[in-house]
């Protein structure tokens, strides 16, 4: 049942509306009078009586109208083709005027007062436009005040109230966030059974801050809390409070908490709270409206009684910029991390999103979960949907494993760009480049196994790629594993140089990722012999772009660059040496990939092992043919 609260207008709101109507009416009347007089002045022009007689004698007058106060003169020729000009002059007791007009054949007439015409003029010129303006203004005001609680909605809260049936979300619909659900389950139980906790002296936490990367399900969790607790759920975004006028945000905060106290127990959810909760430190820039809104929010959070059952949930992916006063206990008592799911979590998310999708018996969601390391809930939901669309596109009624793997590639690298046709030379170069990556991976013991190699261009810019799937979920990486990853990054560039004697722009992304990883090894992971355990960088916005900031002087920064360069050079030499020693295998796999365009990890390893076995056989035969040496 939708329990959207009706907007109630008080006497103050009605008074404001009446005042605005009166002001608009007066301004409209003044404008109409001004423009009417301006138009009349432009169409009529006063002349002297003797000038009027002169015009009649010169036969320049077509007709005249004699009224009690003036004589209106219509000339035969108008001075302007865009507007008819009417001259007028005063009335004199001139007995010769009528004979003169007859003599020059001028039409003349007198004025007959018509009260009905005057009334109609007033109605059409003044009353009717005013009525239309009032009707239009009333319609606009009603539309703008509808759902926002007052004139133009200024200062009123824009919260939406949801009940259980409206959200339709419970903890069963949230997967991969067991720790977050456990923390919020306690809050839900408190709202259901407050006496059990109050008996021991416990108090309901005032607020809980949901922190994590985009797409991990923070808003979904908040809706699930409302669905489980079955209490009113006020949902707003932080930007809903901020307006152009200073003081409006603070007024909306007051109205929000006033409405929440009427509906207690309830939950208030503020999404993207960093829009109003940004630190008041001048480092991030000041804003009077935002700071007043934040001050009001802090005051309201201190002022309401937790025994009534009001809980504030907020979500952000930028906790480092939030004001310290907002994060202290007594306001947001709990910080709940909603991080990227692990292998088990990804498997649960895939199961949740695939429960309504028709799956083939061959589908192995655990294999998909293993291949999507680092993916968040929204990515996995998108992959399931893309797989279902792909199955329908191919005329199947069930989603199979190949659809799921293709959807993983679509989300990560984009769709196949079939209209991009590479020349034979470029296609051969890309084939060797990708085989270089894969071959180095196979030769290094600390590298992840290859799942697929393709040289089909993708819409996100890649001309080909190697898909690697880890054998197990890892939370720590050793120095040897990181160095193996660096060598793998340089396998493509090393293969190009070995085979073609030149290099291309295809390794730009590999070089960028390798440089970032090597820099992190030196500045953050303490894996440099030169700097040892010294931390030289800190990470900002860890839940967004993960940007790093150096904490050292210019001289040290130059030494860091030299150290990173040395690590990258060593890894490139190692990649080049490995490929040079296995040139036959690289040529064989690259030729097969050039023809097929896409090969699986299994096919790759079969060719690789065949070449190695044949190489060993040749070495054995050569050794057997050598004559025995005399002792």
> In 3-state terms, what secondary structure has residue 544?
coil
In this prediction, residues 386-399 reach a mean pLDDT of 91
Statement: residue 162 has pLDDT above 60: no
pLDDT class of 533 with cuts at 50, 70, 90? confident
- What pLDDT is stored for residue 6 in this prediction? 39
- Mean residue pLDDT of the chain comes to 80
Please give the positions annotated as active site.
Answer: 434
pLDDT tens string 177-226: 888 888 888 888 887 777 888 888 888 788 889 998 888 888 888 888 88
Please say whether the dihedral angle defined by the alpha carbons of residues 432, 435, 441 and 444, taken in this order, is positive or negative. negative
User: Which residue's structure tokens are 């219509």?
Assistant: 74
DSSP character for 399?
A: B
- What pLDDT is stored for residue 148 in this prediction? 44
Q: Outline where DSSP puts E strands in 214-341.
A: 233-237, 266-271, 310-316, 334-337
Residue 420 has φ and ψ, to the nearest 5°, of -90, 110
DSSP code per residue over 506-543 = GGHHHHHHHHHHHHHHHHTS--BTTTBT---EEEESTT
Range with the lowest mean pLDDT among 117-121, 142-146, 254-258, 457-461? Answer: 142-146
Nearest to 466, CA basis, from 409, 403, 423, 424: 409
- What pLDDT is stored for residue 318 in this prediction? 87
In this prediction, residues 558-577 reach a mean pLDDT of 95
pLDDT class of 519 with cuts at 50, 70, 90? very high
Q: Which residues contact 165 (CB under 8 A, 6 or more apart)?
A: 1, 2
pLDDT class of 147 with cuts at 50, 70, 90? very low
pLDDT tens string 251-288: 888 888 888 888 878 888 888 888 888 887 755 555 67
- What pLDDT is stored for residue 84 in this prediction? 65
Residue 497 has φ and ψ, to the nearest 5°, of -70, -40
pLDDT tens string 300-347: 888 776 667 788 899 998 888 888 888 888 888 888 888 888 888 899
pTM for the whole structure: 0.68
- What pLDDT is stored for residue 243 in this prediction? 63
Statement: residue 486 has pLDDT above 70: yes
Residue 544 contacts residue 317 (beta carbons within 8 Å): yes
DSSP code per residue over 414-432 = -SB-TT----HHHHHHHHH
What domains appear along the chain, each with residue ranges and CATH number?
13-136 (3.30.720.210), 160-337 (3.40.50.300), 343-412 (1.10.8.60), 424-615 (1.20.58.760)
Statement: residue 439 has pLDDT above 90: yes
A 10 A CB-CB count for 408 gives: 22
């Amino acid at each position: 049942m939708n329990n959207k609260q009706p907007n109630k207008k008080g006497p103050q709101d009605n008074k404001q509306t009446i005042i605005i109507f009166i002001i608009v009416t007066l301004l409209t009347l003044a404008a109409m009078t001004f423009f009417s007089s301006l138009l009349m002045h432009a169409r009529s022009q006063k002349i002297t009586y003797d000038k009027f007689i002169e015009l009649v004698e010169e036969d320049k007058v077509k007709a005249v109208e004699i009224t009690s106060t003036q004589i209106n003169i219509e000339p035969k020729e108008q001075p302007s083709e865009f507007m008819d000009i009417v001259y007028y002059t005063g009335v004199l007791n001139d007995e010769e005027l009528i004979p003169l007009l007859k003599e020059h054949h001028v039409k003349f007439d007198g004025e007959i007062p018509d009260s009905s015409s005057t009334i109609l003029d007033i109605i059409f010129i003044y009353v009717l436009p005013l009525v239309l303006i009032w009707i239009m203004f009333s319609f606009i005001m009603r539309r703008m005040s509808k759902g926002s609680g007052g004139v133009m909605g200024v200062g009123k809260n824009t919260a939406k109230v949801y009940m259980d049936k409206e959200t339709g979300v419970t903890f069963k619909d949230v997967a991969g966030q067991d720790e977050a659900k456990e923390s919020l389950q306690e809050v839900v139980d408190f709202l259901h059974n407050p006496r059990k906790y109050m008996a021991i002296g416990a108090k309901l936490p005032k607020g809980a801050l949901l922190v994590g990367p985009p797409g991990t399900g923070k808003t979904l969790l908040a809706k699930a809390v409302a669905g489980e607790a079955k209490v009113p759920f006020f949902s707003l975004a932080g930007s809903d409070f901020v307006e152009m006028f200073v003081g409006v945000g603070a007024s909306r905060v007051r109205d929000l908490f006033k409405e929440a106290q009427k509906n207690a127990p309830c939950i208030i959810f503020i999404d993207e709270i960093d829009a109003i909760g940004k630190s008041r430190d001048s480092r991030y820039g000041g804003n009077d409206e935002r700071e007043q809104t934040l001050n009001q929010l802090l005051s309201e959070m201190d002022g309401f009684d937790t025994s009534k059952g009001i809980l504030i949930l907020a979500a952000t992916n930028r906790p480092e910029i939030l004001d310290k006063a907002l994060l202290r206990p007594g306001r947001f008592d709990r910080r709940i991390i909603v991080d990227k799911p692990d292998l088990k979590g990804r498997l649960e998310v895939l199961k949740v999103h695939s429960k309504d999708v028709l799956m083939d018996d061959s589908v192995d969601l655990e294999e998909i979960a293993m291949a999507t390391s680092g993916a968040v809930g929204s990515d996995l939901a998108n992959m399931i949907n893309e797989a279902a669309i792909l199955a329908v596109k191919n005329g199947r009624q069930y989603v199979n494993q190949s659809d799921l793997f293709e959807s993983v590639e679509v989300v990560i690298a984009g769709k196949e760009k079939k209209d991009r046709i590479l020349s034979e030379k470029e296609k051969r170069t890309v084939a060797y480049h990708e085989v270089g990556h894969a071959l180095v991976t196979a030769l290094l013991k600390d590298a992840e196994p290859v799942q697929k190699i393709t040289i089909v261009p993708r819409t996100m810019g890649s001309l080909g790629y190697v898909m690697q799937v880890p054998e197990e979920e890892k939370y720590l990486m050793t120095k040897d594993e990181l160095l193996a990853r660096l060598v793998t990054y340089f396998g493509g560039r090393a293969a190009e140089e070995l085979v073609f004697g030149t290099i291309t722009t295809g390794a730009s992304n590999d070089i960028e990722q390798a440089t970032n990883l090597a820099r992190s090894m030196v500045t953050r992971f303490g894996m440099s012999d030169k700097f040892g355990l010294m931390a030289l960088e800190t990470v900002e916005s860890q839940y967004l772009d993960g940007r790093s900031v150096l904490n050292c002087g210019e001289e040290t920064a130059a030494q860091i660059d030299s150290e990173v360069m040395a690590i990258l050079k060593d890894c490139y030499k190692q990649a080049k040496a490995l490929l040079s020693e296995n040139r036959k295998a690289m040529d064989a796999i690259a030729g097969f990939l050039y023809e097929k365009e896409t090969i699986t990890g299994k096919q790759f390893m079969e060719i690789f092992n065949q070449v190695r076995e044949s190489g060993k056989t040749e070495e054995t035969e050569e050794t057997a043919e050598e004559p025995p040496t005399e002792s």
